[in-house]
Structure 1
Amino acid sequence: MRIIRFLNGNGTPQLAALTDENQVFELPYKDLLTMVEKAKQKNVTALALVQEFIQLSLPLEAELKDLTLLVPIEAPEVWAAGVTYEKSRDERNYEATGGKLNASTFYDKVYDAERPELFFKSSAARTIGPDKEVYLRSDSNWQIPEPELGMVLNREGEVIGYTIGNDMSCRDIEGENPLYLPQAKIWKNSCSIGPAIRLAETVDDPYQFQIICRIYRGGSKVFEDSASTSQLKRELGELVSYLVRENTVFDGTVLLTGTCIVPPHDFTLLDGDRIEIEIPGIGILNNPVKSQVQQPS
């Protein structure tokens, strides 16, 4: 069972349940967090609450493809984990050494360290949902998407559900100096999540998610690759435990878990590209790419 948000006929956000058969049922709750709180009050799971409601309801006549989807949750904060896959470690080493293959840097230490790399990625105002434009930085010449599994958390660090995240990154800025990481990761429309949230209780094994990334240019597919969360170096619970340690975590916080899909070294996103990130069982996160025009000083 998945949870989505879309614009209803009145032009206001509507929470809905999306079944595995792609039937859409409107839900009588303001948002996912309100629904989860209602389930706690009734001492049932969120899944049980949704199932109880849709048994007495009829699905929408409109198909999913006809809905204007919104970001599934307005996450107050989005955090991300880095160097959680071997591929990520190798690519960070390549960036940090100016393009040396099989180089060794401090990223090896991060990969093997007890403490994971966690960084602040986005706020609600910077985060977009399905079909909205992700922006390119005007001061970077090497930019890529980072397809990732995202965990939706409550304030206690419990996993409410799973979603898809795009952690847009500037490889040249990060590679120039690791202290530039915030600038390589955080800017307007640099984070996308959606299209749905898969309720945690419906996921048997989060280490069996397949992640697929496709990039289209001029109507043609110019990149495709896939990976599995089974390739994660770190456990998901480990990442959460470090995020909540000595930290205030807000209900609805999203933690992205790192990427194992990286386009070739000579590839950079361009204005007009389109990014598709698919995780079967969650959906396809689609975002067009737009350049930002440098404003005169």
Structure 2
Amino acid sequence: MRIIRFEKEGSAQLAAVNDQDQIFALQQSDFLALIHEADRLEITPLELVSKAIEGIEALHDQIDQLQLLVPIEAPEVWAAGVTYERSRDARNYEATEGRLDASTFYDKVYDAVRPEIFFKSTAARTVGPGGEVQLRSDSVWQVPEPELGLVLSAAGKIIGYTIGNDMSCRDIEGENPLYLPQAKVWKRSCSIGPAIRLAEAVDNPYNFQITSHIYRDGEKAVEGTANTNQLKRKLEELTEYLIRDNELFEGTVLLTGTCIVPPNEFTLAHGDRIEIEITGIGTLVNHVVSAGN
């Protein structure tokens, strides 16, 4: 079962989407209200949704006909890095100017007990499905990073799964690791959506198939696939380090790292379209605009 938000007559409407892509309107106005109601009734969110849509008629709209909103206005978005071997290799390439035989701190963090976790975005900097992600004006090597996102409770419990795009400036990060915040955080540098799959509706989070396409001038420029079974670290391991001595806000999203990296000669350009699909969640589509647009 997936949860979406869409605009209806100027207001946000919450809805459930079953595996047959039928859409059912819900009474709650946002995802956390749904979670709170389930907690109050001492049932799971999936049980609450299943009871709420039992016997009611599905909407006549298709998902692509709705004006989708970000599925949750996450107060904070965090991200984990170097959680896949492919990501480690890409970071090494940036840091060593292509000398792949050179060992770096990325190798160390890949094998370390402590994972890399960094602050990525806020609600104001995050866009939803169909929104525009923005290029940074002082970077010439920028890429999307398709990632599985964890929607967390204040205690760090995984309550849902979504799709995230962790926009990244490879040249800035490669120049100096201390520049990581500038390589990761700027206006409209993150997107999440189009839906949240309830945690109880996922049998195995280590079997999500991730597919990414980048289109330029209507032609496919880059494509890649990965599976969360390639993750080096467990999801609970990442969340445990995020909440350690930290105040976590309810509805925080943690992006879990990427295994899909475009060719080294590729950089995003104004007008590109990014599509990230994760089986069971949906397809997150965003368009790329230059700084200042």
Q: Which interval holds the TM-score relative to the shorter structure? A: over 0.9
Q: Tell me the equivalent position of 1:96.
A: 95
Q: Tell me the equivalent position of 1:47.
A: 46
CA distance in 2, matches of 1:16, 1:42: 19
CA distance in 2, matches of 1:166, 1:79: 12
Q: Tell me the equivalent position of 2:18.
A: 19
Flag as ranges the 4+ runs of structure 1 deviating above 2 A: none
Are 2:278 and 1:282 equivalent residues in the alignment?
no
SS of 2:64 mapped into structure 1:
helix
CA distance in 2, matches of 1:274, 1:44: 40
Amino acid at match of 2:263: P
Q: Structure 1, residues 100-150: CA drift from partner, whole Å, max 9, x if none? A: 223311110010110000000000000010010000001000000000000
Amino acid at match of 1:232: L
Shift of 1:245: 0.3
The alignment-based identity, stated in percent, is: 66
Are 2:172 and 1:173 equivalent residues in the alignment?
yes
CA distance in 2, matches of 1:129, 1:197: 12
Q: Tell me the equivalent position of 2:65.
A: 66
Q: Tell me the equivalent position of 2:202.
A: 203
Amino acid at match of 1:103: A
Shift of 1:43: 1.3
SS of 1:180 mapped into structure 2:
helix
Q: Tell me the equivalent position of 1:82.
A: 81
CA distance in 2, matches of 1:41, 1:12: 25
Q: Tell me the equivalent position of 1:145.
A: 144
- TM-score normalised by structure 1 residue count: 0.97
Q: Tell me the equivalent position of 2:132.
A: 133
Shift of 1:98: 1.5
Q: Structure 1, residues 45-86: CA drift from partner, whole Å, max 9, x if none? A: 100100101013211111111100000000000000000000
Unaligned runs of 5+ in 1: none
Amino acid at match of 1:203: V
Q: Tell me the equivalent position of 2:256.
A: 257
In the alignment of these two chains, the number of paired residues is 293
Q: Tell me the equivalent position of 2:154.
A: 155
Q: Tell me the equivalent position of 2:213.
A: 214
Of the structure 1 ranges 14-23 and 101-110, higher mean CA displacement relative to structure 2 is found in 101-110
Of the structure 1 ranges 241-250 and 36-45, higher mean CA displacement relative to structure 2 is found in 36-45
Amino acid at match of 1:69: L
- The answer to whether the 8 Å contact 1:94/1:102 transfers is no
- TM-score normalised by structure 2 residue count: 0.99
CA distance in 2, matches of 1:29, 1:133: 27
SS of 1:163 mapped into structure 2:
strand
- The answer to whether the 8 Å contact 1:90/1:102 transfers is no
Q: Structure 1, residues 174-219: CA drift from partner, whole Å, max 9, x if none? A: 0000000000000000000000000000000100001110000000
Shift of 1:256: 0.2
Unaligned runs of 5+ in 2: none
Are 2:190 and 1:191 equivalent residues in the alignment?
yes
Q: Structure 1, residues 12-55: CA drift from partner, whole Å, max 9, x if none? A: 11011011111111100121111111111111110010010101
CA distance in 1, matches of 2:93, 2:30: 42
CA distance in 1, matches of 2:177, 2:231: 22
CA-atom RMSD, angstroms?
A: 0.9
